[in-house]
Homo-oligomer: A and B are copies of this chain.
């Protein structure tokens, strides 16, 4: 193999740097040149790159973000964009492209596949954990720990004021973050896509109001609602207003937002990123169109299409634990 290229693409996730590091060190051991393109697919369109050496990646294991920068790339939805990427890959004699990212980044790989003969390998990195064929995506562990620590702090105030808090967490359209964080922070209520189908929101609200009123009558000192982003009409403020309007319940809103995306990766994310990245370099010699995942303790390769198109439900155990405890 002449050269291997890497990009980080889509929303950044803690552990992306750990993955870059492992790929570069692994290529170096194998005598393969490793080229990093900047800003996701944009760097492949604009030929914006850097040859990566072990010295460059030695200190980055512990840092959030990505030294290769990231970005969305709308041009990848056009023929012209895709062809431009292919030209860059050919010009550099790239034999394999490793894409570290989520759902959207993998769709970019699928767009490339018919037009390029090199190998395409995906490494799942997104805090949302919404990719199938891997128990955990890189960044998920750090994000849930960051959110958990933030809600621990909010709990201090909620307890001091015996107050209702609505805390919005990330997750795009799935409840992996909401359920894990809600369970870990002993949230009195978790509202996410999995237990709040759109058509039942009126009923969900009614139940929530009753729960809050019951707890308040029992002198329960605080009530934390963990709310998945993109779920409630009008967002957390919409829910806040509804509680007030319909039951005179006062509440405070906190949107955790981007702090969930950054920070030094957890030990779990550093190790997962390293394992998946090293396997990605192995796979790059023999396969294409695969995503590297870890399921039930084993590293495995899955078809990138399946990983992207299947949905991954929230762990049933967590779901039922939540039901039993609240």
Contacts and interface: CB of A to CB of B under 8 A. Distances in A.
B69 A160 contact: yes
Given A160-B12, A255-B255, A259-B254, A184 B270 contact: yes
A156 interface: yes
A59 interface: yes
Contacts of A253: 257
B152 A264 contact: yes
A202 interface: no
Interface string A250-292: 0011111111011110111011001100100000000000000
Interface residues of A, number: 78
Interface in A24-44: 25-26, 29, 39
Determine how many copies of this chain the complex contains: 4
A21 B321 CA distance: 13
A156 B63 contact: yes
Contacts of A296: 296-297
A61 B271 contact: no
A253 B321 CA distance: 34
Contact of A324 (B181, B256, B278, B295): B278
A267 B153 contact: no
A119 interface: no
Interface of A: 8, 11-12, 14, 21-22, 25-26, 29, 39, 58-59, 61-66, 69-71, 135, 141, 144-146, 148-150, 152-157, 159-162, 165, 180-181, 183-186, 220-221, 252-259, 261-264, 266-268, 270-271, 274-275, 278, 295-297, 299, 315, 317-318, 321, 324-325
Given A71-B161, A145-B145, A153-B262, 14 more contacts: A12-B156, A29-B324, A58-B221, A61-B184, A69-B162, A71-B162, A141-B268, A145-B268, A148-B270, A157-B261, A180-B267, A278-B324, A295-B297, A296-B297
27 contacts: A8-B160, A12-B157, A26-B325, A39-B162, A58-B221, A62-B152, A64-B153, A65-B155, A69-B161, A69-B162, A141-B267, A146-B153, A153-B259, A154-B261, A156-B262, A156-B263, A180-B267, A252-B258, A254-B255, A254-B259, A259-B259, A271-B318, A275-B317, A275-B318, A278-B324, A296-B296, A299-B317
